[in-house]
């Protein structure tokens, strides 16, 4: 009796799954799909390379600033360790506070420049958002002209095993953006 009830539940679950998938399969046949390779598109846009170069330069400059502050903290620590036995309790506390303040400064700089919503994130968004908008607009225009219902990014789809080249509109997007 228990096995029969479990079998019925399995059959009912399978039937419900099939009932929900069948309409999707019917409509999926009627849809036209195209793909783009956003990595390929970005790699072939001079504006993207320029933006990345700017970001790299800014990032290096900020990293040098952080490295200098870290070096200052290391020097303070080394000096403290060398002179510690000669310092009064008050002087030791003062030097320890200086070291902690410098280490805190390093952490603040890292957060300010490279944190989740740091300066690098903001700069990247300021440089790349207009380019992303242009790409999106070009894709939208091509999709509208060619009557594609769906345009997917093949570079971001790990489940994509095979795709016909005739479905790839990446070069058309580059043409629309004036990059080819």
Q: Where are the domains of the chain?
A: 27-176
Q: What is the DSSP letter of 118?
A: S
Q: Which tens digit of pLDDT belongs to each residue from 70-97?
A: 999 999 999 999 999 999 999 999 999 9
Partners of 35 in beta bridges: 152, 168
E strand segments, the chain: 33-36, 150-153
pLDDT value for 18: 46
**CA contacts within 13 A on the Cβ side of 140:** 6
CA distance from start to end of the chain = 69
Compute the mean pLDDT over every residue in the chain, rounded to the nearest whole number.
Answer: 85
* Per-residue model confidence as pLDDT tens digits over 102-152: 999 999 999 999 999 999 999 999 999 999 999 999 999 999 999 999 998
Tell me the pTM.
0.67
Measured CA to CA, the distance from residue 138 to residue 67 in angstroms comes to 42
Tokens of 63: 């990293």
- The pLDDT assigned to 12 comes to 45
């Amino acid at each position: 009796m228990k096995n029969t009830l479990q079998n019925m539940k399995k059959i009912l679950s399978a039937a419900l799954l099939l009932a929900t998938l069948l309409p999707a399969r019917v409509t999926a046949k009627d849809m036209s799909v195209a793909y783009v390779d956003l990595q390929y598109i970005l790699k072939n846009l001079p504006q993207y390379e320029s933006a990345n170069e700017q970001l790299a330069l800014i990032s290096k400059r900020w990293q040098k600033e952080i490295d200098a502050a870290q070096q200052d903290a290391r020097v303070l620590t080394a000096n403290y360790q060398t002179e510690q036995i000669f310092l009064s309790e008050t002087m030791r506390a003062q030097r320890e506070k200086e070291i902690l303040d410098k280490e805190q400064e390093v952490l603040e700089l890292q957060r300010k420049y490279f944190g989740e919503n740091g300066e690098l994130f903001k700069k990247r968004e300021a440089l790349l958002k207009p380019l992303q908008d242009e790409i999106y607009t070009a894709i939208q225009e091509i999709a509208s002209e060619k009557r594609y219902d769906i345009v997917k990014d093949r570079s971001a789809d790990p489940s994509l095993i095979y795709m016909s080249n005739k479905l790839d509109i990446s070069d058309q997007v580059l043409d629309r953006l004036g990059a080819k």
